[in-house]
Amino acid sequence: MGNKFSKIGFILAAAGSAVGLGNIWKFPYIVGEYGGGAFVLLYLAAILFIGLSAFIAESFLGKISESNAVTAFEKMTSTRFKESTLGTIEEKSSTASPLWKYAGFMVLSGLVILSFYSVVLGWIINYIFISFSSLSTDVKVAEETFSSLISEDIFKQIFFHTLVALTVVWIVLKGIKDGIEKANLVLMPLLGVILLGLFVYAISLDSFSEAVKFMFVPDWSKIDEHALLAALGQAFFTLSVGVGTILTYSAALPKEANVVKSSILVTIIDTGIAIIAGLTIFAFLFEAGAESSGGPGLVFISLPLIFAKWGIIGQIISISFFVALAFAGITSAVSMIEPILLYFIERLDYSRKKAVLVCGSIFYVGGLIALLSMSKDYGEYLTFFGKNAFDWMDFVTSSITLPLGGILICLFLGFVVDKELIKSHFLKSSTERIFNIWYATIRYVVPTAVSILMLNKLGLF
């Protein structure tokens, strides 16, 4: 691949992919639902043993193959790679099933996710504009504002969805180095500055000590099997494993890049932002005397209501908060389309422009279907088996394709790819004991845990 990341560019791009709405929106409300500190400890353990292990596995697959996701599996099932002592690559016939090559089509998930993700990003941008004008101080009005946006304001949603789609297309048209890397070099530091500013303000509130206690003093009475699965799911999905993004980004790494070290740094950034966001949001909630368990409506109903009561300071905080969400969302959105773009470019011989236009059109139309499926006028025509199109897109990707993608990557690296090749790369930055633990984890622990998660989401466990 001629279009390579710099080392810092890869870390910021991978962190941009991992850091999204799940960190700043979903993580705090899940922590709130499961009682705080005990859930956070479970989440951190799941990140270490499940999320990080799977992230390293996908990174190695991309780094070793230096190919798009589909080609990576094909390449490494047609030949078994083994690195010689001279640093050259020897090849031996592989006994792996040729069916493994189809695992690479996990990249199709990115277009489906991006379809409804773009709609949610549109809601966030809408709230940036609302924050400049007036936020509701009444719970009922705040709920009606959000409900009206989803079910009635079709043209407003289309406008903001179009704005998001054009932004994503504009960034990826420029390629990995000039588009994705440069966008993350700007947006990720800005996201960090905004979150840090909100965090510093949160520290000044009397409620901050209560937020710290809630986040870090465990209450095990709130923990059950549902909390365990929620912690596992959040740890797995927050790092963008299973969609082919990390594989694709890793394929564009320079040869001297340290995959393990980069993976650890990305995980630290991702987890750190989630923790900071949680502390900040809970400080805001507790300062206003609100409940910690705001649920999915936390961002669009509970927080704007609190900000509205704080006058001009609240307005500034609201604008900053939604801008931070938008930045996090855009960096994730850009990462979702790149894996399928690379397939079109490398395998179908499309130019980047043609690939972007085709893939951009697909997710844009998918987004229109998603937003129309929630409207009063068209919802009944786009609802099947009790779920509208938006919910089906979310369900299929989060419950089937992403967990399945993560399972296949770990099994492939653990049972198909030559162990000594992986080990030689791993030992450049770690010990043999750590390698053995990680290798056993991706072979047995991650596939088992994520399979349980997938079965639970499907209602089969």
Instruction: Kindly state whether residue 1 falls inside one of the protein's structural domains.
Output: no
Give the whole-number percent of the chain exceeding pLDDT 70.
93
88 part of a folded domain: yes
Going from the C-alpha of 131 to that of each of 29, 222, 243, 264, 318, the distances in angstroms are 21, 35, 34, 36, 6
3-state secondary structure of 241: coil
Residue 112 lies in a domain: yes
pLDDT (0 to 100) of residue 275: 94
Among 178-187, 279-288, 359-368, name the most confident range.
359-368
Q: Is residue 223 part of a domain?
A: yes
Identify which of 86, 79, 49 has the alpha carbon closest to the alpha carbon of residue 64: 79
Give dist(CA 138, CA 43) in Å, integer. 34
CA pair distance 297, 461, nearest whole angstrom: 27
Residue 20 has pLDDT above 90, yes or no: no
Q: How far is CA 9 from CA 161, 250, 451, in A?
A: 27, 11, 33
The answer to whether residue 419 is domain-embedded is yes
Q: How far apart are alpha carbons 166 and 111 in whole angstroms? A: 15
Tokens of 167: 């932004």
Distance between CA 302 and CA 461 in Å, rounded?
33
Q: Which whole number is the average pLDDT over 384-392?
A: 94
Question: pLDDT (tens digit, 9 = 90+) per residue, 361-379?
Answer: 999 999 999 999 999 999 9
Judge whether 31 lies within some domain: yes
Confidence (pTM): 0.89
d(C-alpha 450, C-alpha 293), whole Å: 26
> Per the domain annotation, does 310 fall within a domain?
yes
Q: Would the pLDDT of 433 be above 90?
A: yes
Residue 83: the pLDDT is 47
* Distance, C-alpha 148 to centroid of its chain: 27
Per-residue confidence at 165, pLDDT binned at 50, 70, 90? very high
Write the DSSP string, 188-228: HHHHHHHHHHHHHHHHTSTTHHHHHHHHHS--GGG--HHHH
Q: 2 in a domain, yes or no?
A: no
Q: State residue 2's pLDDT score.
A: 45
For the residues 315-320, what does the mean pLDDT come to?
A: 93
Structural domain boundaries, residue 160: 7-457
In the beta sheet, which residues pair with residue 387? 384
Q: How far apart are CA 396 and CA 414, in angstroms?
A: 26
Q: Which residues of 206-216 are buried (b: 16+ CB within 10 A; e: fewer)?
A: ebbebbeebbe
pLDDT band at 294 (very low <50, low <70, confident <90, very high): low
Please tell me the total count of domains within the chain. Answer: 1
- Between 252 and 153, whose confidence is greater? 153
Q: Cα–Cα distance between 57 and 34 in angstroms, integer?
A: 30
Examine the pLDDT at 324 and tell me if it is beyond 80: yes
Q: What are phi and psi of 90, to 5 degrees?
A: -95, 155
Residues 6+ apart with CB under 8 A from 201: 317
Ranges of beta strands (E only) in 42-178 are: 79-83, 89-93
The CATH number that applies at residue 173 is 1.20.1740
**Which residue type, as a one-letter code, is found at position 304?**
P
Nearest Cα neighbor of 110 from 390, 402, 354 is: 402
Rounded distance, CA 449 to CA 441, Å? 10
User: Which tens digits make up the pLDDT trace of 51-77?
Assistant: 999 999 999 998 888 888 888 888 877
Residue whose structure tokens are 């190919």: 67
- Tell me how far apart the alpha carbons of residues 368 and 183 are, in angstroms, rounded to a whole number: 25
pLDDT band per the 50, 70, 90 thresholds, residue 95: low
Q: What is the pLDDT of residues 225-263, one digit of tens each?
A: 888 888 888 888 888 888 889 998 888 887 777 888 899
* Whole-number pLDDT of residue 87: 44
pLDDT of 9 = 81
Rg (CA), the chain: 22
Report how far residue 351's alpha carbon sits from residue 62's, in angstroms, rounded to the nearest whole number. Answer: 22
